[in-house]
Structure formats: C-alpha cells, structure tokens
C-alpha cells in the first residue's frame, strides 16, 4: 500500500469534492507524482470494480519499480518489502495460501470473545475520564491488541508499532522512513529468532515452520508480518475513528443506531462506504493497453484505483454523500475485490461492530470536543484516517 505521493492539505482533509470533480469529468484522469511520473487515476465505481479483477493490471512492486525507474530517478515504491498485496500470481497465490486458513470467516468470527475482552478493557479504562482522544485512546488499542494476539507479540510494544507505521505510511522525512523500516525489520527478526528457540501457539510460529519447510523465505515471513501489522491495524483504526466522527456529526443517525443496536452490522457497511479507510488501492500498472470506458491507457503505466471515489459514485449509490446507516447496501469496494480482496475483512468489521456498540452504550452523551476546523487527518494519499478526535465522553 505504498506510494510516495503526498496529498495536498485540502485533499487530505476532504478528498470528496476533488474526487467528485474527477469522477464527473472523465473515466480516467492523469495526476503527477512527486517525481513527475504520471499516475492514471480511475474514479468511477463500475470501472474500479472491473479493474480490480482485470489481470491486465499488475501489482508486482518490483516490476512497478522498474517502470518508475525508467521514467525518473528516486521514486521509491518499497521493493524491500514484498508481500502478497504487492505481488502477482504465482507468488501471490502461494503467499496468500499460506495464511488464508487462519482467516476463514469461521476463524475470524471465533475471535469475537477476544475482541470483546480487549474492547471492554479499553472502555473500562476510559470510563472515569472526561475528554479523550478517540483515535489514540479508543480506536487504536483494539486492532493493535488483536494483531498482537494473532502474531503472539507483546502488547506493551504497541505504541512502537504505531510510530513505525506512521513513519512508513506517511513517508515523513526520508530519515524517519528508513529508520522505521530498519527498526521494524530488526524487531521482527528478533521475534523470529525467539520462536526458533521457543515456539508459540501463534501465527508467527506457523510462518516460521512454513519457512523451515521451504514454502517461503525468511524475508517473506518478515514482509508478511509487516503487511499484517500495518494493513491489519491502520485500516481498522481509521474505520473506528471515522465511524465515531460520522456519528458525532450526524446525531439523528446516532440516535437511530442507539434505538436499533441489532442494525450495527448494516451500519458498519455504511461506515465503510461513507469514509473508506483505504481510499486508493495498492498501486497497479498496465501490463498491456487497457481501454477504460473509451480512454486508452498504454502499457507500462502506473494506475491508481480510487476505492473512496467509487464508493461515493452517484451512479451506484443514491445520495452518496449522505450517511444513511440503514442503506442496506454492502456492495461497496472498501475491501477491494478479486484475488487481493481483504483477507481480514470479517475481523475488521467485527472489531468495528464491537467497538461502536461499546462506545454508544457506555457513553450515551458522547459529544465532539473539538472545533471542526481542528480535526486533523493523516497525511497519506492511500489511506483515509483521522490523526486525533477529541470527544467529551459524558457530554
């Protein structure tokens, strides 16, 4: 999920007017990346959905890097971390096959008691406080707690993971990025070494055994963990915090949800559509010429598929800019589509359901404690997430 693109401040705060303009103007727009390589952006629902299953769009980061290098120097796409999400078959098939057994809908649903236990602990810790940052104090600890549980990592280290993923995703200064990558790799290598001596009942141990059976390399194990640690927590943190903001901004919808708690799963689908945590899918490139609704993209071009725009397309969703919690339409593309469709979608939704139910039940007077203009968003073009969200828990 990496791109060196940095977004403009207004696009970071509210990308939807820009995306609506691009969507209305043409099936494909050309943006310029920092280095000047053109990025072909596809914004309409129908075209994005079709592209997600079209094998003429490749995702292999090493090939994408060669394409970028042939145009400009210095555009870094992250070839040192190769995982299933930036690979094409057959590598993608092999890597996904190694862990998909741990992510069947049944296995994910079986995590409900763990999710509820962690969520209850977080809410208990908040109960006596007046004002909190819902991102840092509420949305963040649950997904990271779950990922630590899955991988068998110490939960005490969770704030360090957050620092690393912020540096990596926002591509802060070059030094921060390189340092975070190096520290995270060293940490993961050390965790693997420990499992060699003392195996645990966790996913990291399973991956280690797979590498010992020559089904993946140690570098691939590190990259897989990297993907799970970042992809599995940033996204869910974003979903929980933007869902909380959407409810604070739409009191009628919050009241409806409080009166209809059994509708939480339907509401979560709408939260995913309304402010999709992954607003741009992983960078793709054309392996041959592709015609997108009359616009021809030549071979070897870098392509962005805007999931956030597709999910606000009025051709697909009536009144797309309104939060309608009982919309009852789960056809959004927030988890992607096709062979790379999110492996942890059930878990992400389960976490959001449990978190939002707890928040609404425990804090009936929850209110925004910040001026709308003070809301800050994470500076990355690929993800959509709040930096902070100050709220008064007891009104």
Question: Among the residues of the chain, which ranges form H helices?
Answer: 9-13, 16-25, 45-52, 61-71, 91-99, 105-109, 112-126, 141-151, 158-170, 174-197, 203-212, 218-231, 234-249, 251-259, 264-274, 307-310, 345-362
Write down the least CB distance from residue 286 to ligand HEM, Å. 15
Q: Which of residues 101-120 bind ligand HEM (CB under 6 A)?
A: none
Interaction between residue 15 and ligand HEM (CB under 6 A):
no
| Closer residue to ligand HEM (CB): 139 or 180 | 139
Q: In sequence order, what are the residues at sequence separation of 6 or more whose Cβ sits closer than 8 angstroms to the Cβ of residue 67?
A: 285, 300, 301, 302
Sheet holding 284-286, edge to edge: 29-32, 38-42, 302-305, 284-286, 57-58
Q: Which run of H or of E encompasses 30?
A: strand 29-32
Binds ligand HEM by CB under 6 A, chosen from 282, 286, 311, 357: 282
Binds ligand HEM by CB under 6 A, chosen from 15, 58, 145, 348: 348
Q: Which residues of 9-30 are buried (b: 16+ CB within 10 A; e: fewer)?
A: eebbeebbebbbebbeebbbbe
| Closer residue to ligand HEM (CB): 320 or 336 | 336
Interaction between residue 243 and ligand HEM (CB under 6 A):
no
Interaction between residue 235 and ligand HEM (CB under 6 A):
yes
* Burial (0-12, 13-18, 19+ Cβ within 10 Å), 46: middle
Q: In sequence order, what are the residues at sequence separation of 6 or more whose Cβ sits closer than 8 angstroms to the Cβ of residue 32?
A: 38, 39
Write down the least CB distance from residue 31 to ligand HEM, Å. 17
Interaction between residue 277 and ligand HEM (CB under 6 A):
yes
| Closer residue to ligand HEM (CB): 184 or 343 | 343
Interaction between residue 236 and ligand HEM (CB under 6 A):
yes
Q: Which of residues 146-165 bind ligand HEM (CB under 6 A)?
A: 147
The DSSP letter of residue 137 is I
Interaction between residue 393 and ligand HEM (CB under 6 A):
no
Write down the least CB distance from residue 289 to ligand HEM, Å. 21
How many Å apart are CA 240 and CA 385, to the nearest integer?
Answer: 9
Is the link from the previous residue into 106 a cis peptide, with omega within 30 of 0?
no
| Closer residue to ligand HEM (CB): 302 or 334 | 334
Q: Which of residues 44-103 bind ligand HEM (CB under 6 A)?
A: 84-85, 96
| Closer residue to ligand HEM (CB): 2 or 393 | 2
Write down the least CB distance from residue 77 to ligand HEM, Å. 13
Interaction between residue 138 and ligand HEM (CB under 6 A):
no
Residue 160 φ/ψ region, left for φ over 0, alpha for ψ in the -120 to 50 degree band, beta for the rest: alpha
Interaction between residue 267 and ligand HEM (CB under 6 A):
no
Tokens 């992809």 belong to residue: 231
Point out which span in 126-134, 296-304, 315-323, 329-337 binds ligand HEM (CB under 6 A): 329-337
Q: In sequence order, what are the residues at sequence separation of 6 or more whose Cβ sits closer than 8 angstroms to the Cβ of residue 16?
A: 308, 312, 321
Q: Which of residues 293-312 bind ligand HEM (CB under 6 A)?
A: 307
Point out which span in 65-73, 112-120, 205-213, 230-238 binds ligand HEM (CB under 6 A): 230-238
Interaction between residue 231 and ligand HEM (CB under 6 A):
yes
How many Å apart are CA 310 and CA 325, to the nearest integer?
Answer: 18
Report the residue closest to ligand HEM, judged by CB: 344
| Closer residue to ligand HEM (CB): 227 or 290 | 227
Point out which span in 12-20, 341-349, 364-372, 381-389 binds ligand HEM (CB under 6 A): 341-349
Name the token pair of 367. 């209110």
Q: Which residues of 83-119 are buried (b: 16+ CB within 10 A; e: fewer)?
A: bbbbbbeebbeebbebbeeebeeeebeebeeebeebb
Binds ligand HEM by CB under 6 A, chosen from 228, 254, 355, 366: 228
What would you report as the CA-atom Rg of the chain, rounded to the nearest whole angstrom?
21
Interaction between residue 184 and ligand HEM (CB under 6 A):
no
Interaction between residue 359 and ligand HEM (CB under 6 A):
no
Contact positions toward ligand HEM, by CB under 6 A? Answer: 84-85, 96, 147, 227-228, 231-232, 235-236, 239, 277-278, 281-282, 307, 334-336, 340, 342-344, 347-348
């Amino acid at each position: 999920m990496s791109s060196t693109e940095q977004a403009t401040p207004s696009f970071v705060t509210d990308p939807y007017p820009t995306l609506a303009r691009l969507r209305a103007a043409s099936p494909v727009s050309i943006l310029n990346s920092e280095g000047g390589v053109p990025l072909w952006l596809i914004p309409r629902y129908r075209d994005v959905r079709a592209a997600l299953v079209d094998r003429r769009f490749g995702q292999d980061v090493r090939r994408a890097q060669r394409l970028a290098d042939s145009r400009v120097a210095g555009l870094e796409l992250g070839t040192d971390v190769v995982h299933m999400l930036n690979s094409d078959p057959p590598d993608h098939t092999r890597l996904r096959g190694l862990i998909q057994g741990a992510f069947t809908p049944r296995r994910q649903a079986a995590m409900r008691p763990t999710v509820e236990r962690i969520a209850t602990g977080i809410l208990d810790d908040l109960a006596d406080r007046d004002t909190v940052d819902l991102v840092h104090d509420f949305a963040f600890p649950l997904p990271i707690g779950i990922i630590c549980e899955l991988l068998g990592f110490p939960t005490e280290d969770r704030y360090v993971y957050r620092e690393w993923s912020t540096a990596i995703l926002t591509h802060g200064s070059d030094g921060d990025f390189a340092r975070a990558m190096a520290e995270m790799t060293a940490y993961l290598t050390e965790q693997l070494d420990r499992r060699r001596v003392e195996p645990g009942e966790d996913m990291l141990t399973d991956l280690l055994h797979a590498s010992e059976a020559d089904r993946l390399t140690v570098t691939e194990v590190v990259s897989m963990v990297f993907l799970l640690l970042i992809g599995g927590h940033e996204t869910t943190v974003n979903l929980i915090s933007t869902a909380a903001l959407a409810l604070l901004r739409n009191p009628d919808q919050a009241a409806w949800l409080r009166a209809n708690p059994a509708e939480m799963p339907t509401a979560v689908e709408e939260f995913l559509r309304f402010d999709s945590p992954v607003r741009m899918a992983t960078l793709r490139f054309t392996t041959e010429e592709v015609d997108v609704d009359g616009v021809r993209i030549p071979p070897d071009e870098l392509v962005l598929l805007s999931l956030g725009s597709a999910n606000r397309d009025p051709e697909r969703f009536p009144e797309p800019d309104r939060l309608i919690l009982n919309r009852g339409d789960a056809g959004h593309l927030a988890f992607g589509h096709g062979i790379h469709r999110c492996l942890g979608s059930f878990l992400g939704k389960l976490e959001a359901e449990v978190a939002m139910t707890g928040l609404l039940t425990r804090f009936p007077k929850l209110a925004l404690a910040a001026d709308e203009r003070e809301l800050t968003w994470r500076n990355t073009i690929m993800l959509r997430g709040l930096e902070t969200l100050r709220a008064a828990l007891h009104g």
